[in-house]
Amino acid sequence: MDLELAGRTAVVFGGARGLGHAIAVALGREGARIALVDVSPVVHGVAEEFAAAGVKAVGYVADATDYAAVRATADRIRADFGSVDHVQFAVGIGSGQFGFPFWNVDPGVWDRVLRVNLVAAVNVAHAFAPGMAEARKGTFLFLSSVAGQMGSQTDPPYSAAKAGLINFAQCAAKDLAPFGVRVNTICPGMIKTDLNRSVWQAWAGQQPPDLWRSYEDWTAEKIQKVVPLNRWQTPEDVAAMAVFLASARAANVTGQTINVDGGFVMHW
């Protein structure tokens, strides 16, 4: 099936590792040209690995919470690639604290979490949306979380930021629809990422010895309790959905929040 991604330019924020890297790999396999943006300089080495595999890729170092840096990076990408067709935002952090009850997390912690998970996404959208609207084509994808749909007590700042991201994506989808630009959100479920492990670490640090669980036991118990398919989700699961949403096969899909979560969140 031709997804019509070959030769297109995809910008992946957070593309050096984790879910962003998985998305970039999947898009590259479809023949897309990849602009990898990450706060870490390791992104240059990752771009070289892509190039060695036959994928046109360039790495850029930028902090997505810095709007001036994002705009400058967007200009460099357009100069290097000529156009931008797809923008994927896969940047996120947790508070690093166990937030139950919510007043366990000092309000001062919220600012950084909101800036990375929400304001950074707004920065990226501002930097790329006008050009895509002018070209009257393209897609945005924002990675949120199932926590953004349920008011997760585990990490209230993260949960609230991801909820805000879903809402912003819907606003952007409405504004960009007249220009033929689509905007969607993916909410991953239980995935073995550094962020997922940090949630366990925050929880484990507050438990008495009789309630403490290893990461493996804690996650196995949680998956059995909340994931109907009773298995981990993988970065490749999320990447497959990201590729579909960027493709011509999803031409009539915009403003949607799609869960890749094994049935964790169901609405009825």
Q: How many CB atoms lie within 10 A of CB 96?
A: 18
C-alpha–C-alpha distance, residues 168 and 162, integer Å: 10
Q: Is 117 exposed, middle or buried (0-12, 13-18, 19+ CB in 10 A)?
A: buried
Extract the runs of DSSP E, i.e. beta strands, from the chain.
Answer: 9-13, 33-38, 57-61, 86-89, 139-143, 182-188, 257-260
Cis peptide upstream of residue 101 (ω within 30 degrees of 0): yes
Q: Would you please indicate which residues are annotated as catalytic (active-site) residues?
A: 158
Report which secondary-structure segment, H or E, holds 49: helix 42-52
End-to-end CA distance of the chain: 33
At 133, list the tokens.
């609207």
3-state secondary structure of 89: strand
Report which secondary-structure segment, H or E, holds 236: helix 235-246
Residue 145 one-letter amino acid: S
CB contact at 8 A, 31 and 103: no
Which residues neighbour 145 within 8 Å (Cβ) at sequence distance 6 or greater? 92, 158, 159, 162, 187, 188
At 77, list the tokens.
């990408």
At 70, list the tokens.
């994002």
C-alpha–C-alpha distance, residues 172 and 58, integer Å: 27
